[in-house]
Structures are given as structure tokens and as C-alpha cells.
């Protein structure tokens, strides 16, 4: 494969993996690992469509296609004002607190970074779930992927939400260049502050997996990962430091294999669709399109726009093609 | 005289705590669990039958005392802080067992148990932004001490700034008896580029334009509350509400606290913070006697060891040698 065709292959694998992980994890969201095992054993077959993760990733990619490396927070803010805020009149399905809080902050006339600071969900994994296109756009350059992601992130997130997004963008950028799984996780750590909740959690899950040995993917590993990073006394699961660490743990536990990584990630429960989407994106970039099980890829059609009407009808593979054209 | 204002800060916080509707919910923790389960079932009944007759906390085969007007979580955590203020903070928190607390505090206690020390215990915390530390900071404010070490155990960023602002404002109010210096002291520690700093200035502007605490209620709702998130104890909302309403009331508790209690989403803690500021301005003697009588005895609904303690006597332990 030429370099260019390889990048194209990895980009397609990345976004197919993201969409597949999102769809696979959707019915497991907010279930306990024990309940997931009771219902499905291992959840391996996609039951329905994807959620906000895929639609927001397509939206993020559209920003990169339009603005390239010159993308600024102002561009992102304008896109929100023109393409999201006017359509958010009725129920905003699938949107997390951070997206709704950002819409309300924009309506109150605030500008970034206050739009990401003024609501209470700055640490949402809403940015991490749509970070993959930034990694695709910057193959082999985690720092640039993280910088661009942050332009997006400052509009709707803050603090650990931005750190979580940067980590995923950096991981995908490294995977796009063929880095080994361990180096992909190192790339994620290299673009976030060591003194951050996200970094501490990523280090913790690496330690848990190292202690569990190469076969540590069963219920015991699930429990140990939960013990290491899950916030016990909190009802919401979309906490970026938690979801990103669990997704990278799944990628490591699956040794970069798409199906292994994603099914293990989804077995962790919590924000299972986002964990699946992140693990799928990183593993998909690592393995390319052929790494995504054909039966999963066959289930991925154009998105419906149920969460983000502006992207209705778009397909992740078209998005991947557009991103690669801009390289 | 400063002793009267220190007592005023404590009593004012307890009065505000008691005035907010969530106090009854917190105090009903003293009832048997099944009575709260019935409450949830009646909520579901109202939903199912489309009746607008909403259930209120009630006592069925249970003592009614917890449901009388009285202080709840915030007054108890203030008392605990005053009683432990001279101890190393992480050490004091580590000794807590069998307590009910905000999400920030519950997570911080988990973090401490896992060996995650401050400031990470307050930072690696989904509710690092809440006002648990701002409530505790009233104890630091009355003795003119920096609340940061205490705040960082359970909070970070806006949560710590909220504590610094409350301590600074209470210290200035205790020293001067006036709300103006208190507001200035709070703003001085709240950077405009933070959510809490931005909101504090927006809230003051909105309340000044309205001209009166009660008149300011809708303006504060529009300026500060996005109604998106599930828990209304964010320091970036409650501390600005307290500053704005205490100022609009000219430091008068009887005008400031009722307005804060009208902002339903933040009624858990904004009235308490408002009461602490106004109480520190006007002093203990300016607070209506009936309210003090109802609010000074702790229920033990969060910190069971404090059941029956008199909050004003606890405040007096801080003023020995001052007043």
C-alpha cells in the first residue's frame, strides 16, 4: 500500500470502528458489568443504531474539512451558532449536559472559553467521543491533533474534558502512523498534563492491566479497572477521565484488535457507547478497515441525525474520505 | 462587637439553610428508609395519575420533629468545620465515618481512602465545582483564615475559588459590618475569566439593575441558571447569588434570604450562603428571634454525632479570646 492509501485505509477503519463501538455499546450504557454479562454474556453483535458519538464525530470532521489546520475556537463557535443552536428548539436527543449547557451559554451571549466553563459538565467525555477525526487529520503528529481538538474543546468543555479529548486525538494520531498499542497510549499521555485526573487514571489502568498479565480480560479485570477509576458516588457516567481511561484500557487489553478491544470496552458498562466508540476508533486506526469485523461494518449506514440534525444522511466512510482528501 | 457578627454569620447560615425547601428532604433522612420510599412512590403516583397534588415530606408512624423548620446539611458541616478548624484537614476528613455529604465530599472521602491526597482528592472529583467548601469557608472567614487547604480536600477550581470568596467576604463583613467591603473582598479573589468570577459580576449587575432582592430573582435565574444540569449546588451559581442578593438587601438578612429561597434550583445552599453573608453584616441580634430559635439546634441528619448540638455555642468556641 502507498502511504496515502494506507492513511485512507486507517481513516476508514477508525471511523467505522468508532461507529461500530458506539452502536454496539448503546444498549449497555449505564448497565453494571454483571448485568451486561447476565443479558448477553459478551456483547458482540450490534443491535441497533449509533448515538451522539458518531454524529458529533461527523460534525467535528466537517469543521476540519472546512478549516483545516487553521481551525479556531471562533470557527467552531460560529458553526454551533449556525448549525446546532437554531435546530435545538425541541428535544435535543442524545445530547449530553455539556452540549446542552453550551447551547444555553451561547444563547446567553457568552463566548469561548466561557461557553465551556459556564456549565457544570466541562469534564464531559463529549469531546473525547468526537476526537478521532482530529487524530485522522494529523497522522503521526499527536501534538497537532491535540492542539486542533482543543480549538473545538474550548467551546463546549474545560479542564479534564479537554484533557480527555486531547488524549484520544493524540492516541488516534499515533495509531494512524502505525504505532504499537503501548506507544499509542504513551502518545495519549504525551499530550496531556501529567498532573491531571485523566493522566492519573490512564496510568492506573495501565498498572491494573500489567498486574493482571496478558490474559487479564475477564470479570476480574473488569472489576479491577472499575475499582481503579470509576467514581462510586456519582450517577452520571460520562466523566472523561473515567471513560477515556477505560477505553484506552480496552484497547490495550485487546492488544489493538478491533473486535477484542471494543467488546471488552463495552463489557465495562458505564458510558459503554462512548467507551466502545473510543476503543473502536483507536483500534480501527491501528488495524485499518479490514480490522473492523465485516458483520459490524455492514450494520453501519448513514446517520439519521437524531441527535444532530445537521449531519443527517452522512456516512462515516464519506467523512473518512473527506478528511483524507485534506491531508 | 465582632463576636456578635461571628454568631450572626453562623446563625445566618443556619437560618438560610432552614429556609430552603431542600432542608426538609435532608432532615427526613432521620426517618426510617421506608418513609422516604413511600415519598418516591407518591411522586410516581402523581406522575401516573396526572394529579398536581404533590407529595411533601411527611411523617407516618415517625416523629414529626425532623420535618419542622430547622437546619440541615450546611449548618452541620459548618459546625464540624468550626470544631475541627485547628486540625490538619485531610486528617480531620479521614476520621469521618457514617456521614451523609455532597458528591464532592463523598468522592473526596473515597479518594482519601484510596490514598489519593489533596489537592488531587478534590480535583479528581466530578463535583470539584460544588459549594461544599464554600459553606465550610464561613468558619475560616469569621476567624480571618485562608480556607484553601480545607477546600482542596474536597474541591478544585471554581469550588476552591468559591470558598476563598466566601471566606474573604465573611471576614470583611465581620470586620466592617457592611456588605460593600464584603463584595469587594470577594470580587478581589474571583478572576473574571472563570465561570464563578464572570457569574459574580453578572449577578451583581443583574441585581443592581433590579434594585431589590425579590425583584432580582427572575433576573438572576436568567443570568446564572441554565437549568441543564441535575444538581444545583455549583459554587459558580450559588456564591454569585449570595453576593448579589446580600448586596441588593444592603446586608439585611430578612430581605436577602427569602429571595434566595425563591430560586428553587439553588435553594439547597444559596439561602445558607446568603444568610451567612447577611448575618455577618447585621450580626446575631438583627436576626429574627423565631428563626434563630428554629435554626440553631442541629439535627444530625448528615453528621449524626452533632445531633442536638447548639450551633451558636459552637460559634462561640471560635470567638473565645476575640469578643
pLDDT, tens only, B197-242: 999 999 999 999 999 999 999 999 999 999 999 999 999 999 999 9
Greatest alpha-carbon pair distance for chain A in Å reads 52
A183 is in an annotated binding site: no
CA quadruple A267, A272, A275, A277: dihedral positive or negative?
Answer: positive
pTM over cut 0.90: yes
The answer to whether B115 faces chain A, any CB pair under 8 Å, is no
pLDDT, tens only, A267-310: 999 999 999 999 999 999 999 999 999 999 999 999 999 889 99
| Cell output for A217 | 480480560
Candidate CATH numbers 3.40.50.1110, 3.30.1490.20, 1.10.4080.10, 3.30.530.20; the one for domain B2-22+73-319: 1.10.4080.10
The residue-averaged pLDDT of B118-133 equals 98
Residues B77 and B75: their CA atoms lie apart, in Å, by 6
Whether B321 has a pLDDT exceeding 60, the answer reads no
Q: How far is B117 from chain A (nearest CA, A)?
A: 12
Residues A189 and A198: their CA atoms lie apart, in Å, by 9
Q: CATH homologous superfamily for A3-325?
A: ADP-ribosylation/Crystallin J1 (1.10.4080.10)
Q: If you ran DSSP here, which 8-state letter would residue B286 be given?
A: G
Q: Of B123, B124, B229, which is closest to A120 when you measure between CB atoms?
A: B229
Residues A219 and A292: their CA atoms lie apart, in Å, by 24
Dihedral, CA atoms, B24, B25, B31, B34, nearest 10 degrees?
Answer: 140
Q: Which of B109, B224, B118, B230 lies closest to A118, judged by CA? A: B224
Q: Which of A263, A280, A249 lies closest to A13, judged by CA? A: A280
| Domain limits, chain A | 3-325
The answer to whether B123 faces chain A, any CB pair under 8 Å, is yes
Whether B323 has a pLDDT exceeding 80, the answer reads no
Residues B179 and B286: their CA atoms lie apart, in Å, by 14
Residues A256 and A87: their CA atoms lie apart, in Å, by 38
Burial class (CB in 10 A: 0-12, 13-18, 19+), A23: buried
Count of CB contacts below 8 A, A vs B? Answer: 65
Q: How far is A125 from chain B (nearest CA, A)?
A: 12
**Would you state the pLDDT for residue A88?**
76
Least CA distance to B157: which residue of chain A? A159
- Kindly list the residues of chain A whose beta carbon comes within 8 Å of any beta carbon in chain B: 97, 100-101, 104-105, 108, 110, 113-114, 117-121, 123, 159, 197, 200-201, 231-236, 239, 241
Q: What rounded mean pLDDT belongs to chain B?
A: 96
How many CA atoms are closer than 13 Å to the CA of A85, on its beta-carbon side?
19
What ipTM was estimated for this complex? 0.93
**Would you state the pLDDT for residue A94?**
63
pLDDT, tens only, B155-208: 999 999 999 999 999 999 999 999 999 999 999 999 999 999 999 999 999 999
pLDDT, tens only, B12-45: 999 999 999 999 999 999 999 999 999 999 999 9
Positions in chain A whose pLDDT score sits under 50? none
Q: Is A9 helix (H, G, I), strand (E, B) or coil?
A: helix
| Domain limits, chain B | 2-22+73-319
Amino acid at each position: 500500500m502507498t502511504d496515502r492509501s494506507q492513511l485512507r485505509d486507517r481513516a476508514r477503519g477508525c471511523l467505522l470502528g468508532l461507529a461500530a463501538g458506539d452502536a454496539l455499546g448503546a444498549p449497555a450504557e449505564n448497565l453494571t458489568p454483571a448485568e451486561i454479562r447476565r443479558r448477553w454474556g459478551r456483547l458482540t453483535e450490534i443491535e441497533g443504531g449509533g448515538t451522539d458519538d458518531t454524529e458529533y464525530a461527523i460534525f467535528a470532521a466537517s469543521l476540519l474539512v472546512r478549516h483545516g489546520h487553521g481551525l479556531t475556537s471562533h470557527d467552531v463557535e460560529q458553526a454551533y451558532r449556525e448549525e446546532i443552536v437554531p435546530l435545538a428548539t425541541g428535544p435535543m436527543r442524545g445530547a449530553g449536559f455539556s452540549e446542552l449547557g453550551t447551547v444555553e451559554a451561547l444563547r446567553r451571549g457568552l463566548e469561548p472559553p466561557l461557553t465551556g466553563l459556564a456549565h457544570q459538565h466541562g469534564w464531559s467525555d463529549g469531546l473525547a467521543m468526537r476526537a478521532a477525526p482530529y487524530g485522522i487529520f494529523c497522522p503521526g503528529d499527536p501534538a497537532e491533533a491535540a492542539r486542533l481538538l482543543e480549538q473545538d474543546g474550548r467551546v463546549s468543555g474545560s479542564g479534564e474534558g479537554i484533557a480527555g479529548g486531547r488524549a484520544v486525538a493524540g492516541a488516534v494520531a499515533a495509531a494512524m502512523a502505525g504505532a504499537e498499542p503501548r506507544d499509542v497510549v504513551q502518545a495519549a499521555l504525551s499530550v496531556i498534563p501529567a498532573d491531571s485526573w485523566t493522566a492519573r487514571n490512564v496510568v492506573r489502568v495501565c498498572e491494573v492491566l500489567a498486574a493482571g498479565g496478558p490474559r487479564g480480560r475477564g470479570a476480574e479485570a473488569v472489576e479491577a479497572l472499575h475499582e481503579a477509576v470509576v467514581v462510586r458516588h456519582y450517577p452520571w457516567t460520562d466523566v472523561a477521565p473515567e471513560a477515556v481511561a477505560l477505553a484506552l484500557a480496552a484497547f490495550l487489553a485487546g492488544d489493538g484488535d478491533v473486535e477484542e478491544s471494543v467488546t471488552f470496552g463495552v463489557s465495562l458498562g458505564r458510558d459503554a457507547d462512548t467507551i466502545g466508540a473510543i476503543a473502536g476508533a483507536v483500534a480501527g486506526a491501528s488495524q485499518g478497515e479490514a480490522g473492523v469485523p465485516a458483520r459490524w461494518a455492514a450494520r453501519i449506514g448513514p446517520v439519521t441525525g437524531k441527535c444532530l440534525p445537521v449531519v443527517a444522511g452522512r456516512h462515516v466512510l464519506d467523512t473518512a474520505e473527506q478528511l483524507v482528501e485534506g491531508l | 462587637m465582632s463576636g456578635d457578627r461571628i454568631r450572626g454569620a453562623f446563625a445566618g447560615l443556619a437560618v438560610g439553610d432552614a429556609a430552603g425547601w431542600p432542608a426538609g428532604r435532608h432532615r427526613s433522612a432521620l426517618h426510617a428508609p421506608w418513609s422516604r420510599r413511600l415519598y418516591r412512590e407518591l411522586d410516581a403516583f402523581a406522575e401516573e395519575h396526572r394529579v398536581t397534588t404533590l407529595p411533601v415530606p411527611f411523617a407516618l408512624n415517625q416523629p414529626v420533629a425532623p420535618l419542622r423548620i430547622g437546619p440541615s446539611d450546611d449548618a452541620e458541616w459548618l459546625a464540624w468545620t468550626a470544631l475541627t478548624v485547628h486540625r490538619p484537614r485531610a486528617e480531620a476528613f479521614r476520621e469521618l465515618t457514617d456521614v451523609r455529604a455532597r458528591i464532592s465530599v463523598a468522592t473526596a472521602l473515597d479518594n482519601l481512602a484510596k490514598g489519593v491526597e489533596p489537592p488531587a482528592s478534590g480535583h479528581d472529583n466530578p463535583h470539584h465545582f460544588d459549594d461544599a467548601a464554600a459553606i465550610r469557608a464561613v468558619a475560616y472567614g469569621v476567624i480571618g483564615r485562608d480556607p484553601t487547604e480545607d477546600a482542596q480536600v474536597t474541591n478544585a477550581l471554581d469550588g476552591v475559588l468559591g470558598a476563598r470568596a466566601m471566606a474573604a467576604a465573611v471576614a470583611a463583613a465581620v470586620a466592617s459590618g457592611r456588605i460593600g467591603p464584603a463584595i469587594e473582598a470577594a470580587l478581589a479573589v474571583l478572576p473574571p475569566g472563570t465561570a464563578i468570577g464572570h457569574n459574580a459580576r453578572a449577578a451583581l449587575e443583574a441585581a443592581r439593575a433590579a434594585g431589590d432582592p425579590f425583584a432580582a430573582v427572575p433576573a438572576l435565574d436568567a443570568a446564572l441558571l441554565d437549568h441543564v444540569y441535575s444538581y444545583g449546588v455549583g459554587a459558580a451559581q450559588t456564591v454569585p447569588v449570595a453576593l448579589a442578593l446580600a448586596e441588593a438587601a444592603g446586608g439585611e438578612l430578612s430581605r436577602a434570604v427569602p429571595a434566595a429561597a425563591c430560586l428553587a434550583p439553588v435553594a439547597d445552599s444559596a439561602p445558607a450562603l446568603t444568610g451567612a453573608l447577611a448575618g455577618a453584616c447585621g450580626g446575631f441580634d438583627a436576626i429574627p428571634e423565631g428563626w434563630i430559635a428554629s435554626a440553631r439546634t442541629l439535627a444530625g441528619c448528615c453528621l449524626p454525632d452533632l445531633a442536638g448540638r447548639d450551633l451558636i455555642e459552637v460559634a462561640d468556641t471560635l470567638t473565645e479570646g476575640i469578643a
